Amino acid sequence: MGPSHQLHEQAQRFLDRTDSDDDRNPDVELSQLGGAETLNGERIAAQHYRLPSQTKASPLLVGLALLFTVLGFVINTEATEYFESLLGWKKPFATLYITHSALALPWLCHVLYLRYQNRHSPYVLWAKDYNNRLREAISTIDAYTTDGPRMIWKLRGQLGGPLDFLATAMAIVTLALTVSGVAWFLGLTLTTPADLTAIYNCSTFFAAAFSVPLLKEKLGRYSVVAVALSIVGTFIIAYGDTTAEHPLKEDSAGNEVGTSRLLGNLIACVGALAFGLYEVLFKKWACSSRPVSPQQSMPLTLAASGLLGLYTFATLWVGLVLLHIFGIETFVWPRAEVWLWIVIAVLSGSMSINLLAVLVVWTDPVFGSFANVLSVFFVALADWILFGLTPSFPTYVGGGVVIVAFALLSWDTFRHQR
């Protein structure tokens, strides 16, 4: 009996033992993965868990998620514009802090719902079962075995498990999302809204660019054409709309807006790059590498997105205090009417960002980022309906180009899934 045959039998016994022990011991530490048996020089640790037989989300589910994502972005944009411009509560960093902190709300609601379903079970047993299921889901992420040993810092003698990996990974993802949000509001004070809108929606390009090295994805020619068309359509909407104010203008304090367009555009590019990176990293570190059903993917997606909200809530209040102390953004407690519109904006923004994460998990970062691109056209239509700002002909042309690009990308995405 040769050595290769012995290794094969050892590997088979290891997999059989793992299959029978999944439900009893779903928490697999990184040290266990690193010390797995090898067969012909290849690791077999990736098979710690049984592969589910369910398939990805159906086009109908993806379409509904996309619809509510775009709807959430539109409501968030219009509500924010209302309480900032008409009600006079213009506190961009505070708005960013509240909106990103609210990302934890869907996860908290999900946990409360699960607890209500199992209210007759002792809390300790229920919490342990929830954590074990979450560990099991995290352990099906390929990046847990490849990136985990480098990402998790533990004291000597301690082991890093799946929850440690998720906590560390989402801290990095939170940083990317925060840089994107801060760059948006900072760029808005330096460049024009048209420049900012056009550049930020190039995050689709950055999502595609990062997907190749980080996710090892091969972009089809139709997807590349769709990304290019989406950028063209966005530029047509941003610069062809005659109702938009492209020249330099003065704000309420008498300062000219758009006087540092080059610096503002560079900051906007950093923000677009950070948002594209956020989408790709979320896909890499918070999405199972195994075929799972939409229902199975939701607990991990909500938990990962919830960590973004908790990290934001726990850290960015320092920025609020510093901005208030130095007089850059003096915080004023909103009155009741302003609070109503803040709540509407925050809830819709939280819904859209969480659903964007769901879209990224169900499809890919490029498809998910199209929700932002589509929202530009529908925000223009909402401005027409709510504020009487009639869109110009280029707005319709650009919107048509974006819709054609989205249709092409959708066809290419689901064609590959089939």
pLDDT score, position 23: 44
Q: Is 189 exposed, middle or buried (0-12, 13-18, 19+ CB in 10 A)?
A: middle
What number of helices (H) and strands (E) belong to the chain? 18, 4
The low-confidence residues of the chain, meaning pLDDT below 70, are: 1-56, 154-159, 194, 241-259, 416-418
The strand pair at 38-39 and 42-43 is best described as: antiparallel
Residue tagged 């199209």 (tokens): 370
Contact call for residues 390 and 357 (beta carbons, < 8 A)? no
Contact call for residues 208 and 278 (beta carbons, < 8 A)? no
Residue 168: count other Cβ atoms within 10 Å of its Cβ. 18
Euclidean distance between CA atoms 118 and 1, whole angstroms? 53
pTM exceeding 0.85: no
Strand partners, 38: 43
pLDDT, one tens digit per residue, over 332-357 is 999 999 999 999 999 999 999 999 99
pLDDT score, position 47: 41
pLDDT score, position 239: 76
pLDDT score, position 324: 94
- Widest pairwise Cα distance in the chain: 87
pLDDT score, position 238: 75
